[in-house]
Amino acid sequence: MPVAVLTQPDRPAGRGKRVTASPVKQFAVDRGIPVLQPPTLRDDTVIAELEDLRPDIMIIAAYGLILPQRVLDIPIAGCLNVHASLLPRWRGAAPIQAAILAGDEQTGVCLMSVTAGLDCGPVYASEIVAIGANETAGELHDRLAMAGARLLVTYLADIIARKIGAEEQNEDEATYAPKIRNADAALDWRRPASDLVRAVRAYNPVPGAWFMLDDERIKCWAAAEVAANGAPAGTVLAAGPGGVVVACKSSAIRMDSLQRPGRRPVTAGEFAAQADLNGRRL
């Protein structure tokens, strides 16, 4: 039985920027589980409160705050992180996006013992998940979340009882997935079209792959690679119901769903009807 749920403080969300409880908090409150929302875990009062709970184990999933060693030492069976990659590949803040950007055919989830380093603790269990050819980061995230839940149901009791051990990671195979910046999602037509198509998938739904059209930042939510005629990178080859096609370093990208600032996403045909794009150089 959970003795408490820790989640970050409520923050403004949505267009109205209303302060909103996270889904984790809502789930816990509905079930009568105490909720703690400290802005930091380095406060002595917060640490004392956690110590008083005397937890057997702490399970971490995309928490977003650094756990100091004093907190890591509190649970009897330690702290367990549900990490969305097949460690040691893609340690860090954005493993799902990194796997898609790299063109990986599979990823997965690991149950990892938390240590002071970045996602470098020993691994208790993992599950491999294939990445769909057109799968977005949001879609893959949801499937990985289910895989993580299955792993916890299967192994948590044995981990707490110390019936299974954890295997150390191979440091020589470690790769890193840094935190995503908005600038990372800019579409650079000088890159191969295949790279840009993966970027569209990787940055859907956050922050959204984008490019500039005059003074507007346009987001692209769906795209595919198509053949090109050798035009300079950034040249709009076609714009209509069949897609907005832009020449890249190699091949071309056909953008099928686009969104102007403050507007809803629309089909390429709808977007092309709002702007004269044919022959333009983006």
CB of 200 closer than 8 Å to CB of 221: yes
Print pLDDT tens along the chain (282 aa).
899 999 999 888 766 778 888 889 999 999 999 999 999 999 999 999 999 999 999 999 989 888 999 999 999 999 999 999 999 999 999 999 999 999 999 999 999 999 988 999 999 999 999 999 999 999 999 999 999 999 999 999 999 999 999 999 999 999 999 999 999 999 999 999 999 999 999 999 999 999 999 999 999 999 999 999 889 999 999 999 999 999 999 999 999 999 999 999 999 999 999 888 988 999
CB of 140 closer than 8 Å to CB of 130: no
Cite the DSSP H helix spans in 54-103: 69-72, 95-101
pTM for the structure as a whole: 0.94
List the domains of the chain with CATH numbers. Answer: 58-177 (3.40.50.170), 182-274 (3.10.25.10)
CB of 74 closer than 8 Å to CB of 46: no
Sorted by sequence, the CB contacts under 8 Å of residue 215 that are 6+ apart come out as none
